[in-house]
């Protein structure tokens, strides 16, 4: 009787603690029946304990993670989910084991983000709302951390480039960003601008998208009546709009040759004169240029002025293509998927290893932009078909045709990892991959896995916990 009383007391104490956690906690047994449902979960979902205890969880929450955890014998962490209509949570779900390593059931922790998702949906209805949010944010903080945080990498050389851009952002130097199309040059330019603390606007202009005839009026502006069709009140040019801020000249190699001397004069004198005007205006504008062309080759071909090049290229930053930092492909793919699902209010879609291997093998000539487009396209198709993961036939045809040699791909990936991590990190990543592969081969039979790996079963449990392997 004493032991019975002690057990009851311990259970009551355990339930009291879980009831006072601000996250929804659900525990199920091996068969998916609810054995515990805390007070916060009652409040979140409007379901009382007495109605759900000993019932199948899936009958109340069709898209809950726990049934998937029990089926796949794997854990999930910080997954975006919509367990019931009009409710949105970030969920973590793990398996529960007894001391002998047998599965007892599973535990899920849900953090309510319904209001955040609704706000996100509202903000994403129109581009103007997003621009307004950026503007308000820039008023609150002079830091570009919000933009630099969007530039993620595991590549040591690329991280060094990011840190270099942070350091030069607060200088007045003009910067030339060089890199292939889609590598994120404008994102770098924005991050540098907001990190700089400059109070003026970030004004982008694509030199390849503006007709030659309109280029001068767009950059320098014009006075009233300067030419046929001009606005009666005149118009500010991009330099005036960027006063106190940054003018981003994208695809600078496409700037018409006849306009280059005028741009050079503005950079040398620090004044701009509108078309049809005679009143030079002093300006304070920082120039960030970007190109995917070899400007020196254009100079040799007399398509770009050497003196203008040296004005723009006070400090050059070379942004490598995605194929030169393949270790970032998996990182970026999962980041883009998470962001897109959050923005669109979609249930999370997983990227299986088969798809990640294809991504790693592919060349990505369109770089980060192409990867993002593929992820978004595949996520939409998966959602339309009611799938919870990206499948091969959701990919564009040219990606479906890629044949992945698993052994060679593993060797390549290991080579990438070994270049980008220290020896200890490298060995740990290899060990994790071996453990996961062996678990999959044995259908997650831990006794057989430990036997194949020639390690004690407790050691296997320790390493699985260490690496977050379900």
365: Cβ–Cβ under 8 A, 6 or more apart, which residues?
180
What is the rounded CA–CA span in Å between residue 236 and residue 297?
34
pLDDT of residue 407: 43
272: Cβ–Cβ under 8 A, 6 or more apart, which residues?
220, 221, 237, 239, 240, 266, 280, 281, 283
Q: What's the CATH code, domain 421-467?
A: 1.10.10.60
Residue 418 CA to chain centroid, in angstroms?
A: 24
Closest CA to 325 of 411, 416, 404: 416
What is the rounded CA–CA span in Å between residue 336 and residue 369?
10
Same fold, 2-112 and 143-320: no
* Structural fold of domain 2-112: Beta-Lactamase (3.30.450)
pLDDT of residue 348: 64
Q: What is the pLDDT along the chain (470 residues), one digit of tens a residue?
A: 445 555 676 777 778 888 888 888 999 999 999 999 998 889 888 899 999 999 999 999 887 889 888 988 888 887 777 766 667 778 888 999 888 888 889 999 888 877 666 665 665 554 555 555 555 555 544 445 567 888 888 888 999 999 999 999 999 899 999 999 999 999 999 999 999 989 999 999 998 888 877 888 888 888 876 665 556 677 888 999 999 999 999 999 999 898 899 899 999 999 998 888 788 899 999 999 999 999 999 999 999 999 999 999 999 999 999 999 988 998 899 889 888 888 887 876 788 888 988 998 899 999 999 999 999 999 999 988 888 889 999 999 999 888 765 545 555 555 555 555 555 666 677 788 888 888 888 888 888 888 888 887 777 877 887 888 86
| Sign of the alpha-carbon torsion through 194, 196, 201, 203 | negative
Q: Cα(first)–Cα(last) distance of the chain, in Å?
A: 38
Q: Which CATH architecture has domain 143-320?
A: 3-Layer(aba) Sandwich (3.40)
* Structural fold of domain 323-400: Helicase, Ruva Protein; domain 3 (1.10.8)
pLDDT of residue 221: 85
26: Cβ–Cβ under 8 A, 6 or more apart, which residues?
34, 36, 37, 38, 41, 57, 64, 66, 107, 108, 110
Secondary structure (DSSP) of 204-238: EEETTTS-HHHHHHHHHEE-TTSSTT--TT-EE-H
Contact 448, 442 (CB under 8 A): yes
Question: Taking phi first (over 0 means left), then psi (-120 to 50 degrees means alpha), and beta for anything else, what does residue 454 get?
Answer: left
> How much is the pTM?
0.58
What is the rounded CA–CA span in Å between residue 234 and residue 290?
29
Contact 219, 261 (CB under 8 A): no
pLDDT of residue 142: 45
Domain boundaries, the chain: 2-112, 143-320, 323-400, 421-467
285: Cβ–Cβ under 8 A, 6 or more apart, which residues?
200, 239, 242, 243, 244, 245, 246, 247
């Amino acid at each position: 009787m004493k032991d019975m009383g002690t057990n009851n007391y311990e259970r009551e104490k355990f339930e009291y603690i879980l009831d006072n956690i601000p996250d929804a906690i659900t525990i199920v047994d091996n068969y998916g029946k609810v054995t515990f449902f805390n007070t916060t979960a009652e409040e979140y979902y409007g379901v009382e304990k007495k109605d759900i205890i000993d019932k199948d969880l899936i009958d109340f929450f069709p898209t809950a993670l726990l049934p998937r955890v029990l089926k796949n014998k794997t854990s999930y962490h910080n997954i975006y989910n919509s367990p019931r209509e009009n409710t949105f949570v970030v969920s973590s779900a793990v398996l529960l084991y007894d001391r002998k390593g047998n599965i007892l059931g599973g535990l899920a922790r849900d953090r309510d983000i319904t209001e955040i998702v609704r706000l996100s949906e509202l903000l994403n209805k129109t581009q103007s709302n997003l621009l307004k949010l950026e503007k308000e944010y820039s008023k609150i903080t002079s830091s570009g951390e919000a933009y630099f945080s969007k530039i993620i990498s595991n590549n040591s050389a690329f991280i060094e480039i990011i840190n270099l851009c942070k350091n030069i952002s607060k200088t007045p130097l003009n910067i030339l960003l060089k890199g292939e199309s889609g590598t994120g040059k404008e994102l770098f330019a924005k991050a540098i601008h907001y990190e700089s603390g400059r109070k003026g606007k970030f004004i982008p202009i694509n030199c390849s998208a503006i007709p030659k005839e309109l280029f001068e009026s767009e950059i320098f502006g014009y006075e009233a009546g300067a030419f046929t069709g001009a606005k009666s009140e005149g118009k500010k040019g991009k330099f005036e709009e960027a006063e106190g801020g940054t003018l981003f000249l994208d695809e600078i190699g496409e700037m018409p040759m006849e306009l280059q001397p005028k741009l050079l004069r503005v950079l040398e004198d620090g004044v701009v004169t509108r078309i049809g005007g005679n009143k030079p205006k002093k300006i304070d504008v920082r120039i960030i240029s970007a190109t995917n062309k070899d400007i020196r080759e254009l100079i040799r071909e007399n398509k770009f002025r050497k003196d203008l090049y040296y004005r723009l290229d006070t400090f050059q930053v070379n942004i490598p293509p995605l194929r030169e930092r393949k270790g970032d492909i998996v990182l970026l793919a999962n980041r883009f998927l998470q962001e897109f699902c959050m923005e669109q209010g979609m249930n999370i879609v997983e990227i299986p290893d088969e798809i990640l291997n294809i991504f790693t093998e592919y060349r990505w000539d369109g770089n980060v932009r192409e990867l993002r487009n593929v992820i978004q396209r595949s996520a939409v198709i998966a959602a339309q078909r009611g799938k919870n993961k990206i499948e091969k036939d959701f990919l564009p045809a040219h990606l479906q045709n890629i044949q992945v040699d698993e052994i060679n791909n593993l060797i390549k990936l290991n080579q990438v990892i070994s270049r980008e991590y220290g020896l200890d990190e490298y060995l740990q990543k290899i060990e994790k991959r071996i453990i996961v592969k062996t678990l999959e081969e044995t259908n997650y039979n831990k006794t057989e896995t430990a036997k194949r790996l020639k390690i004690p079963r407790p050691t296997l449990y320790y390493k699985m916990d260490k690496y977050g392997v379900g």
